[in-house]
Amino acid sequence: MNLVWHVSIFVLCTGAFSAEALRPDVVKVGAIFTFGTINGKVATIAMKAAENDVNSDPRFLGGSKLSIQVHDSNFSGFLGIMGALKYMETDTVAILGPQNAIMAHVLSHIANELHVPLLSFTALDPTLSPLQYPYFIQTAPNDQFQMTAIVDMISYFGWGEVVAIFSDDDQSRNGVIALGDKLAERRCKISYKAALPPDPKATRSEVKDQLVKVRMMEARVIVLHTFAKTGLLVFDEAQNLGMMETGYVWIATTWLSTVLDSTSPLSSKTANSIQGVLTLRPYTPDSESKRSFISQWHKLSNGSIGLNPYGLYAYDTVWMLARAIKLFFDQGGNMSFSNSTHLSQMRGGALNLGALSIFDGGKQLLNNILQTNMTGLTGPIQFNSDRSPFRPAYDILNMIENGYRQIGYWSNYSGLSVVTPETLYARPPNRSSSSQQLDSVVWPGGTTKKPRGWVFPNNGRQLRIGVPNRVSYRNFVLLSSVNGTNKVQGYCMDVFLAAINLLPYAVPHIFIPFGDGHKNPNYNELVNMVAANVFDAAVGDIAIITSRTKNVDFTQPYIESGLVVVAPVKKFSRAWAFLRPFTPWMWAVTAAFFLIVGTVVWILEHRINDEFRGPPKKQLVTIMWFSFSTMFFAHRENTLNSFPLPSQELIPW
């Protein structure tokens, strides 16, 4: 029994010794950033601080030390790729970065082949799918969440169209695509996309050319998705072009908040050019560890740059990787590398790709990273099933004269609110429109009144409105020429313009006269010209009849004539117009009946009625006057005879 016990102890000790012996003295981690950018500077300082904190406790990694080697890609995708290949030759277990999505798309293929995890908190292209790139992990919310927050703001203020200005690289371009998809879900759209050269290559003239085009557009809601240098150049030129005045809406993505947080103080020129702009900042809840890190930042950076949220993400990403490596060691993982059969045939040459090796424990380390459940400087860190961070949220900032002010929050849990996200997490999710709320906004131009979001555009084809140029009934439609332009007036025009003004969008149009102005035009021809697309529409006193409704659509009638009789009209002299209703023979018969009636009355009345007596001339005049005056019931002679018949009965008419 004693022999077995000693043997067991020996085996256990030997196993423990072997596990410790397999741990390397240094765990190599690469980092690829551009030192000349704000995020590159902040991330480098934060990662080194995290490295020191990890190594401050030698027991954390069981005697191994974490070594982060930083490579400057210097705005070059090629240099970034070559730096990553250099790391792969030196048994690197993971890479922090790359900084932008251009390199991420390329390096992810290398990571897939060599099983080396890539962890990036700045390459936030939403198209970097975990299905295509399983070894690429975004440790900060990608741009799809950011675009969802922007769309929620656009929907909250009731705008329907936006203009997108972006750098023409993978990350910005795909971010704008995500913006368009989210807008379509709200029945909104991007009316114009202005692409700029990738940052920092955009020149002032190129920016100005695009802004001139944007200024001619109908939409006045502009989303700017780019990086710091290009973004500030856009605002500078926009101010010169008068595009930072009342009526415009500018929404900048998180690049602007990083500039505000890391650049202090801003120049007066820059501060003036961003007045009234809305921007987003990744939300990080307040905590004791966060406050402690912020208090140390000035010492860590030597006052060279301010801290922004991506510095916090950089710090947490290093700790996330360190915890995954610790778990890897605790699981008995072996930091071993093997040659790739695909690359062994490519040995030799200047590139020496055959020196690249596969990390045998890469898949195990990747799984450990994805199972992270910790609380860092940015709050709870946990990945969902789609590898997105747990409950991403943003601060919504409004640029004002003295810097900025926070007007609310956005989270994928409850949408827009003026209550902090962690407070809402304790309640059931509620994204109803009634629960969405933001504080008041000071818009460009210093106004607090919500901009309409659109104007009548200066370009594009106007609607061609046909207007009858008629000579009669000019109160309905009246065309007059003023300084060579057609001025349209009348009741029909007033109704049309009133309807246009009630629409929530612009309808640019031009009135085109139809007719020579000397005679009334043929309305059937006018309607047919609308059907033939010569005119886009017609406005006027156009009767709605069956034959016309077969060719065009009419509005609801706004003038009703009631029951009418239509008869052909012939030209006649106005002096004798009263003679036109009857023919000459009819007039002769009528005159004869007048004389007959007068004669009959005279026969019956002259024997007993003194008014029908007198000289023959007077009696003749009385007969004619009495028969004519009966038409108007104005005869002055009174009749006395009741016209009795022999039977003393009246004959019914």
CA 468 vs CA 320, 479, 525, 534: distances in Å: 75, 9, 11, 14
pLDDT tens-digit map of 412-459? 999 999 999 999 998 999 888 889 999 999 999 999 999 999 887 666
- Distance CA(266)–CA(260), nearest Å, equals 7
| 13 or 271, higher pLDDT | 271
DSSP 106-132: HHHHHHHHHT--EEESS---TT--TTT
Q: Of the segments 70-79, 316-325, 327-336, which one has the largest average pLDDT value?
A: 316-325
Quote helix, strand, coil % in the chain, to nearest 5: 40, 20, 40
Residue where the block lists tokens 């000790």: 13
pLDDT tens-digit map of 284-297? 999 999 999 999 99
Which range (280-284, 560-564, 597-601) has the least confidence? 560-564
Q: Is the pLDDT of residue 313 over 90?
A: yes
Q: Is the pLDDT of residue 323 over 90?
A: yes
pLDDT tens-digit map of 79-130? 888 888 888 888 899 999 899 998 999 999 999 999 999 999 999 999 999 9
Average pLDDT of the residues in 293-317: 96
Contact status, residue 307 vs residue 261, Cβ threshold 8 Å: yes
Q: Which helix (H) or strand (E) holds 221?
A: strand 221-225
What three-state secondary structure class fits 626?
helix
Contact status, residue 281 vs residue 313, Cβ threshold 8 Å: no
- Distance CA(40)–CA(42), nearest Å, equals 6
- CA atoms within a 13 Å half-sphere pointing along the CA-CB vector of 548: 17
Q: Give pLDDT, residue 349.
A: 56
| 26 or 487, higher pLDDT | 26
Average pLDDT of the residues in 298-304: 94
Over its C-alpha atoms, the chain yields an Rg (Å, rounded) of 45
- Distance CA(383)–CA(393), nearest Å, equals 14
Cis check for the bond before 265: say yes or no (omega within 30 of 0): yes
Cis check for the bond before 126: say yes or no (omega within 30 of 0): no
- Distance CA(370)–CA(393), nearest Å, equals 20
- Distance CA(239)–CA(390), nearest Å, equals 39
- Distance CA(176)–CA(10), nearest Å, equals 63
Spacing of C-alpha 164 from chain mean position: 8
Which range (28-42, 67-81, 391-405, 468-482) has the least confidence? 468-482
> Which residues does residue 33 pair with via DSSP β-bridges, in sequence order?
72
Q: Is the pLDDT of residue 11 over 70?
A: no
- Distance CA(531)–CA(515), nearest Å, equals 17
**Percent of the chain beyond pLDDT 70?**
88
Average pLDDT of the residues in 52-78: 92
The two beta strands, 278-282 and 94-96, are unpaired
Contact status, residue 111 vs residue 85, Cβ threshold 8 Å: no
Length of the chain: 653
The two beta strands, 393-400 and 278-282, are antiparallel
Backbone angles phi, psi at 98, to 5 degrees: -75, 175
Q: Give pLDDT, residue 434.
A: 86
Contact status, residue 96 vs residue 44, Cβ threshold 8 Å: no
The two beta strands, 537-538 and 509-514, are unpaired
> pLDDT averaged over the chain?
86
Residue where the block lists tokens 């065009």: 552
3-state helix/strand/coil string of 344-408: HHHCCCCCCHHHCEEECCHHHHHHHHHCCEEEECCEEEEECCCCCECCCEEEEEEEECCEEEEEE
> Which residues does residue 95 pair with via DSSP β-bridges, in sequence order?
30, 118
CA 209, 213, 216, 221 dihedral sign is negative
Q: Give pLDDT, residue 442.
A: 95
DSSP 232-276: HHHHHHHHHTTTTSTT-EEEE-THHHHHHHHS-SPPHHHHHHTTT
Q: Give pLDDT, residue 158.
A: 93
Of the chain, the end-to-end C-alpha distance in Å amounts to 149
Q: Give pLDDT, residue 635.
A: 59
- Distance CA(406)–CA(394), nearest Å, equals 11
What three-state secondary structure class fits 175?
helix
- CA atoms within a 13 Å half-sphere pointing along the CA-CB vector of 77: 14
